[in-house]
Structure 1
C-alpha cells in the first residue's frame, strides 16, 4: 500500500496538537494510504516538543524534528519535505484550519484526474479581521498582476503532492523561500478544492500584522521584477516632469517677465525628486538584500534533535 507523509509545522501548538492527530485519524479512516506524521518543532517556547516526544513514543507512525530556534514556517516546510519519504506528501497546519476530511477527496481527485497536485483554497474569510482579509485579497491581486506565476487567491499550503512534485521542489535550493509561489512555479497538473474558512481550534495565530506585510513583500520580490521596472519608470517620469517645469518657468519668465519664486519651487522639487530617489533605492535595496542572503550560503534551518525512521 502507498504511504502518505503528513508534514505539520508547529510553533507553540501545545494546546491543539493532540486534538489535531486524533481529528486527522478520525476524518481520514477511509483514506487508502498508510499515514505517517512528521511534526516540525519550529523553536516553540511552550510544551510542543514534549507533546511531540510523547506522541512519537505512543504511536509508531509519528516522528518529529526539532529546530535549535525559530526559523519560520518556510524553513519548517522545507525540513519536512527533505525528511519525507512517502509516495504522497501533504502539508497541514496543526490549528485544524486545514480540514482533514478533504484529504480523502483530494486523493480521489488526484487518481481520477491524474493530477500531480490537489490543493485547497478558501473562498471566504469569515471570522478574520476585516483589515487582514482586505490585505490578503490585495496581495493576491497585486502579485498576480506583477508576476508571471499565477497564485490563486486564498490558496493554502495544504495540498496533496506526488513524490515527483516534492523532488522537484527540493531542487529549488534558494534561501528566500515562498512556498506558495514555488509550488505554482514548478507547474504540473493541478486542481484546487474550495471550502469555507475554518477558525482555529485553539490558541492564537503566530502571524502578526507586520510579519504578514513582510511575508507579502518577500513573495512579490521573489517572483517578480516589476518593482524594479516601476522604480525605473518613476525615475523617467521624474526626469520628464523636471524638464517640463524647467521649460514652463523659462517660458513664463521670458514672455511675461514674471520671475519664479525660488524657495517654494526649490523645496517642492527637492521633496519630489528626493522622495522618488529614496523610494527607488528602497526597492533596489530589497533585491540586493535578497542577493546578499543567497550568497551567504547559510543553512536554512538547524536541527537540534529528531526522531525519524
Structure 2
C-alpha cells in the first residue's frame, strides 16, 4: 500500500484538486493508496473539507488536526508516524509536486532497488529573484559547512520505503529540519528533476522571513560552523587588539605621540561591541535549541482525527 502524507495549512482551495489529480494518476495502475492529511491549525475550511472527504471515503482518506499551528516539520512527522503503507510519499497539497511522477518513482523504487526516490526542481521559474538568490546561497553555505549534503532545489516530495521512514521516526528531536534529516539517515537515493510549477490555487503560507528563519534553523541543526565562526572572530579580535596595543604603547614610548581623538575610540568600541553581540547571538541560538530539547515537549498535539487512525493508534 502507498501512503500519501500531505501537510496542510489553509489549503481548502487546493485539497479537492489534489485528490482528483492523484486519483487520476494512481487509479489506472490499480495501486492501493491511503491519504494522510495533517491539518496544521488552519484558519480556513481545510478541516471541514477533510471531514467531508473522510465521510465519502473513510477507508482511504484520513486526517489529523492539530490543536494549533505547530509548523510543517511537526505535520510531516505526524503524517509519517501515522502512515501504514509499505511505501510512503510526502507531497504538498498545492500540486507544485507533480502527481504524474508517482508511477515513475514507484517503478524506480522497485526495479532499481532504491530506498528513496526524491525530486528536485530544474529551475526556479516564477519564483521572486530575491528568494531564488537566498535559496541558492543557503545550499552553498550549508554544503560548505555541514557534513550532511543537501542538494540544491530538492523538494520534500519523495517516495520512501518503510525501512527509511522507520529510521526517520527514530529521530524524535523537537527541533526538526526534514531536508537535513532525509539526507542524514542515508539510504540509497536517486532524484528526478522536473520543471518548477506554480500553485494550482490559493496563496503560499511561506513568507520571505519565514523561509529565512527556516534556513537558519537548518544551518544550526546540521552544522557547528556558526560556533566555529564565533570563536574565530573572538580570537581574531583579541589578536588585532593586542597588536594595536603594542603599536600604540611603542609609539608613545619612542616618539611621545599618543593616539588622540574620541571618534576613533568610540568607533572601535562600537565595532567590538557589535562583534561580541554577534557571537553571543550565535551561542544563544544554540543554547535556545538545547533549552527546547530539554523541555521534552511533544512535537505536536492532536485536537481531532479520523476514526481509522484513532483505532489504529489505540491498537498500538
TM-score range for the pair, normalised by the shorter chain length? over 0.9
**Separation in 1 of the partners of 2:162 and 2:148?**
22
The answer to whether structure 1 residue 173 and structure 2 residue 172 are counterparts is yes
Q: 1:181-220 CA distances to partner (integer Å, 9 max, x unpaired)?
A: 0010000000011011000000110011111111000000
Q: What SS is found at the alignment partner of 1:97?
A: coil
**1:121 is matched with which residue?**
120
Q: How does 1:68-217 map to 2 (within 5 A)?
A: 68-217=67-216
Q: 1:120-149 CA distances to partner (integer Å, 9 max, x unpaired)?
A: 011201001111111111111111111000
Instruction: In structure 1, list runs of 5 or more residues that go unmatched.
Output: none
**2:311 is matched with which residue?**
none
Which shifted more, 81-90 or 21-30? Answer: 21-30
**1:52 is matched with which residue?**
50
Q: How does 1:17-56 map to 2 (within 5 A)?
A: 17-31=15-29, 33-56=31-54
Instruction: Give the count of matched residue pairs.
Output: 307
**Superposition deviation, residue 308 in structure 1:** 4.5
**2:3 is matched with which residue?**
5
Q: What SS is found at the alignment partner of 1:111?
A: helix
Q: TM-score, normalised by structure 2?
A: 0.95
**Superposition deviation, residue 175 in structure 1:** 0.1
Q: What SS is found at the alignment partner of 1:118?
A: strand
**Separation in 1 of the partners of 2:246 and 2:27?**
77
**Separation in 2 of the partners of 1:243 and 1:288?**
30
Q: What SS is found at the alignment partner of 2:99?
A: coil
Which shifted more, 188-197 or 104-113? Answer: 104-113
Checking the alignment, whether the CA contact within 8 Å between 1:31 and 1:103 is kept in structure 2 is no
Checking the alignment, whether the CA contact within 8 Å between 1:5 and 1:86 is kept in structure 2 is yes
**Superposition deviation, residue 28 in structure 1:** 2.7
**1:17–1:55 CA distance, 2 compared to 1 (3 A):** same
**Separation in 2 of the partners of 1:120 and 1:273?**
45
Q: 1:251-306 CA distances to partner (integer Å, 9 max, x unpaired)?
A: 32233322211413321221122111100000000000000000111111111111
**Separation in 1 of the partners of 2:252 and 2:111?**
77
| CA RMSD across the alignment | 1.1
Instruction: In structure 2, list runs of 5 or more residues that go unmatched.
Output: 309-316
**1:16 is matched with which residue?**
14
Q: 1:100-132 CA distances to partner (integer Å, 9 max, x unpaired)?
A: 011111111112211101000112010011111
**Separation in 1 of the partners of 2:216 and 2:31?**
38
**Separation in 2 of the partners of 1:58 and 1:261?**
82
